[in-house]
Amino acid sequence: MLTRRVLLAGTAALLASPPTAASASGLHKPSAYWPGPQAGGRPPVALRFSRPTGPFPVGTTELHLVDAGRDDPFVPGRPRELMISVWYPATRPAERAAYLPPLTAQVYAEGAAIALQQPVDAVDWAGARVYAGLSAPVSRGRRPVVLFSPGFGVPRGLGSIMVAELASRGYVVVTVDHTYEAAAVEFPGGRVAVQTLPAEPYARLARATRVADVRHVLDALQQLANGRNPDADGRRLPEGLGGILDLTRVGAYGHSAGGITAADVMLVDRRVRAGIDLDGTLGYGYDDPADCPVVAQGLDRPFLLVGAGGTGPDGGPQTHRTDPSWRGFWNNSTGWKRDLNVPRGQHYTFIDHQALIPHFQRHFTVPPELVANTIGTVDPRRILHTLNTYLPAFFDQHLRNRPGTWRDSPKHPDVRFIA
């Protein structure tokens, strides 16, 4: 059974439920969707995001990757396909990119409507735009690279606030959709792969697949840095994109299952120098957390654990003092490490839900249990500001050799330093 604090893919806690009737192949083409007036004549709620605070405008582009040598573990008989987005420092703004691809937005809207107990057209998911210019001109210079892996069932776009923040501060951030595990992944040509999971248990399969996905992305980035275009469809990429990738300085972070992925990848691939786990229970899939390789072996490179106040054992805080898998990982890790906790936060405090749900509350009644189980009672603006401080500071220290950025970051009343 999937634990709430690790995956949370159901609509009661996550605004991303896959369709109830997916084809056996996992391919789904939603009907056309145009946001219009809701019942009663109210316009759909437009999504609003805070601007990134770094000195650079942000650009973004997407790539379709095919791992021809790997059979897809969720849909055998198909090569493994991935969609990724590359966010990067730009020289000037450009037309803002969509928050979610159009058909993915419809699939997401269907699940969100159930969770929010609102009509499917209550929120304009399809019209939402991020603070990143589509194929904006690349700002030259060698840039550290950070990989982002979302939580189980979550589209890669749901981490856009932090991704844009990092890119505005001079990082290249690569976000990954884990096909057939995510609620929906949209490929070129209007093809959508929806969540298609084998019978349980599939936790270890999901973990292994994610590691292979991220390692394939790293290989594709190396091709890009070498002057080749790894996009399976040969689509044109922004000029100079490969030239800014500094693959000697690679970090990884993720939320929930994505945080587990960051640790798992670091265990087997030394190309990744530093990582962050945002509230992902490292022992997921193991009856005894000590049997989990990354728990049993730990890491010898910098790693940051960030937990919420109500996602640990018995509904308490998730820290290395309370969670057996975090404790084993902590004790066995010899690299730089820190453990932070957000006592009044919840599992989705660490991604865009922390901004979206308070925004929805200003327009309609959000079920109280949804609020309690996703973002808790932490102050939304303050915690987003804090995450925008601590996470870039961690990568500044360990990928840019700027320790003062982390050390001198002001202590925040909503964050507790465990160790």
pLDDT-derived band at 350, boundaries 50, 70, 90: very high
Provide long-range contacts, Cβ within 8 A and 24+ apart, for 69-72.
70/212, 70/216, 72/179, 72/180
- 8 A C-beta contact, residue 260 and residue 280: yes
| Residue bearing the bigger pLDDT, 16 or 408 | 408
Report the residue count for the chain: 419
pLDDT-derived band at 16, boundaries 50, 70, 90: very low
Lowest mean pLDDT across 25-39, 68-82, 176-190, 262-276: 25-39
pLDDT-derived band at 133, boundaries 50, 70, 90: very high
Is residue 362, in this structure, part of any structural domain at all? yes
Is residue 21, in this structure, part of any structural domain at all? no
pLDDT exceeds 60 at position 37: no
pLDDT-derived band at 66, boundaries 50, 70, 90: very high
pLDDT-derived band at 356, boundaries 50, 70, 90: very high
pLDDT of residue 408: 61
pLDDT of residue 54: 96
pLDDT exceeds 80 at position 5: no
pLDDT of residue 40: 54
Is residue 303, in this structure, part of any structural domain at all? yes
370-394 pLDDT, tens digit per residue, is 999 999 999 999 999 999 999 999 9
Lowest mean pLDDT across 13-22, 84-93, 163-172, 355-364: 13-22
B/e letters for 19-57, b = 16+ CB within 10 Å, e = fewer, are beebeeebbbebeebebeebeeeeebbebebeebebebb
192-216 pLDDT, tens digit per residue, is 999 999 887 889 999 999 999 999 9
Measured distance CA(45)–CA(38) in Å, rounded: 10
- Within 13 Å and on the Cβ side, how many CA atoms surround 68? 4
310-331 pLDDT, tens digit per residue, is 899 888 999 999 999 999 999 9
pLDDT-derived band at 59, boundaries 50, 70, 90: very high
- Tokens found for residue 329: 């990982």
What mean pLDDT comes out for the span 68-79? 95
Burial group, residue 299, by CB count within 10 angstroms (0-12, 13-18, 19+): buried
* Domain containing residue 85: 27-417
pLDDT of residue 410: 64
| Alpha-carbon distance values, 5 to 93, 104, 384 (Å) | 38, 24, 20
The answer, as to whether pTM is greater than 0.85, is yes
Is residue 178, in this structure, part of any structural domain at all? yes
pLDDT exceeds 90 at position 405: no
Is residue 2, in this structure, part of any structural domain at all? no
Is residue 3, in this structure, part of any structural domain at all? no
Per the structure, how many domains does the chain have?
A: 1
**Residue 54 belongs to a domain with what CATH number?**
3.40.50.1820
pLDDT of residue 14: 44
pLDDT-derived band at 234, boundaries 50, 70, 90: very high
Is residue 82, in this structure, part of any structural domain at all? yes
pLDDT exceeds 60 at position 39: no
